[in-house]
Amino acid sequence: MIKIKPEISTFKAPVKVTPFGGEAETITIEFAYMPVSKAMELSKEKTVGEVLAEIIKGWDGIDAPFTPEALADLLDHNPAIGMELFQGYFSAMAETRAKN
């Protein structure tokens, strides 16, 4: 049976990002689950970095453990990655997720 509201708090998804001056790589991001309407509302009220700080809960494939400070540092040195992570969230939400 399809549940109207998924019973998950986070999910992992591969996201292709391009570091400044480097080649595109695929990393794994652990995102917080929230309804798309809430994420869209946040995107109207906050910067991309602020939204990402709310929806990213972890990562693999980056040379530092995830913290809000590490995320801010990543975005400061690799500004294009912010939009790639943001787009990755919405792309992952659009895909069917069987389980976390």
Task: Report the number of distinct structural domains present in the chain.
Answer: 1
Residue ranges of the alpha helices (H) in the chain?
36-45, 48-55, 68-77, 79-94
Please check whether residue 86 lies inside any domain of the structure: yes
Percent of the chain scored above 90 by pLDDT?
70
Q: Is residue 99 part of a domain?
A: no
Q: Is the pLDDT of residue 75 over 50?
A: yes
**Does some domain include residue 77?**
yes
Which residues, 6+ apart, have CB-to-CB distance to 82 below 8 Å? 48, 49, 52, 75
Using a cut of 0.85, tell me whether the model's pTM lies above it. Answer: yes
Residue 43 confidence class, pLDDT cut points 50, 70, 90 = confident
**49, part of any domain:** yes
Whether residue 5 lies inside any domain: the answer is no
Confidence of residue 100 (pLDDT cuts 50, 70, 90): very low
Q: What is the mean pLDDT of the chain?
A: 90
35: left (phi over 0), alpha (psi -120 to 50) or beta: beta
Q: Is residue 54 a part of any domain in this protein?
A: yes
Provide the residue range defining the domain that includes 20.
10-94
